[in-house]
Amino acid sequence: MAFQIRTYNQIAPSGLQAFPQSLYQVAPDIASPDGILLRSANLHEVPLPETVQGVARAGAGVNNIPVTSLSERGVPVFNAPGANANAVKELVLAGMLLGFRHLKQALVFVDELDPSSPDFERAVEGGKKRFVGHELPGRRLGVVGLGAIGGQVANAARGLGMEVIGFDPGLTVEHAWRLSSDVRQAPNLEALLAESDVVSLHVPLIEATRGLINADRLRVMKDDALLLNFARDGLVDRAALLEVLGKGRLSVYVTDFPHPELQGVERVLSLPHLGASTVEAEANSAVMVVNNLRDFLENGNIRHSVNFPEVIMPRTDGPRLAVANANVPNMVGQVGTTLAEAGLNIVDLLNRSKGDLAYTLIDVDGPVPDRVQAAIQAIDGVLRVRRIPDVGA
């Protein structure tokens, strides 16, 4: 039987084409889907059927998905970290140029000139003196968060001759390897803010980062600094920002998240959430999450999940069990005992945990009867059990 996938947004055709028609039915009106594929649709108020095995967002942030309740049901949520990194990096560079070269004001100035005036050219030459800016080389960029996007921003800025300092207490080895050796590590966020001519934010919006740039941290920034937020609305305390701008501090705030309170505020440049709005980024994100959702549904493998650990195990010839459970002792032992009592031998096994959740893939040497699956599901702490057919079945 084909897997049923429900879409909630317009998904890039290259992503949809990654679903084999022989194995998948994909449509926006499927009532009992195995998987959900979306971009920006808000699922918090949408009842999700028990049939849902996995949810995949063609993008990085998952604020529009009820991750906590899905975790309690044993449902992984997939995203596409890094798929839009180049698109956001380019926009951050554009944001720096907007701020340093006063491009918005210059464009408005030219648009408002009278083209029929005999003094048009003289007005152009006379007016340009108001928009004298600064070049990037020699300026110091502070990058908060050095993941897929922040790392690319840091490397690109180094290539433009900027000095770069970064702060990311959760920097992974993988991302550290990709980072230019010239990027200097700040001892803390306050030190980065105090030293930087430009600050660019590249962290997720979670409880710990909400209002990350608050009144106290704005006070330590340079009076003529640029602040760029192409990450998430909510990282900057809006009331504190407006107070600082009202006192004539900060050169420019460039954000990808317009808000009524920021409209018409001098030295605020708002863009309509363009970070990932390129044909290439939308295609990259869609292809990545479709492939990950497929690997999960067809093989039980998990990669790029925001709530479950990464678990990738090559298939053997026989059936496979995928068990999602609370991260408590002796879960694997209880599952193994249940299989042994049913006369099933474990051929291969991989178990990983992430926070309060754990996930186990188990290849066995024979079919798993309904009663055995039900017995495993009945173990206290087991959230969900899936039987995955033999390869090619």
Is residue 90 part of the annotated active site? The answer reads no
Which of the following is catalytic: 273, 315, 386, 387?
273
What is the spatial distance between Cα 289 and Cα 175, in angstroms, rounded to a whole number? 20
Is residue 175 part of the annotated active site? The answer reads no
What is the spatial distance between Cα 192 and Cα 166, in angstroms, rounded to a whole number? 7
Question: Between β-strands 24-27 and 226-229, what pairing exists: parallel, antiparallel or unpaired?
Answer: unpaired
Residue 213 structure tokens: 């740039």
What is the spatial distance between Cα 356 and Cα 381, in angstroms, rounded to a whole number? 11
Which of the following is catalytic: 261, 280, 310, 341?
261
What is the spatial distance between Cα 345 and Cα 364, in angstroms, rounded to a whole number? 6
Which of the following is catalytic: 102, 232, 294, 304?
232
Output DSSP code: residue 252. E
Coil vs helix vs strand at 36: strand
Is residue 232 part of the annotated active site? The answer reads yes
| Torsion from C-alpha of 170, 175, 178, 182, nearest 10 degrees | 0
Question: Rounded to an integer, what is the distance from CA 115 to the centroid of its chain?
Answer: 46
Coil vs helix vs strand at 150: helix
| CA proximity to 178, closest of 207, 200, 204, 156 | 156
Contacts 24+ apart (CB under 8 A), 51-56: 51/4, 53/296, 53/297, 53/384, 53/386, 54/78, 54/293, 54/296, 54/297, 56/289, 56/290, 56/292, 56/293
Sheet holding 346-354, edge to edge: 346-354, 357-364, 320-326, 382-388
Do the beta carbons of residue 54 and residue 38 sit within 8 Å? no
Active centre residues (catalytic): 232, 261, 273
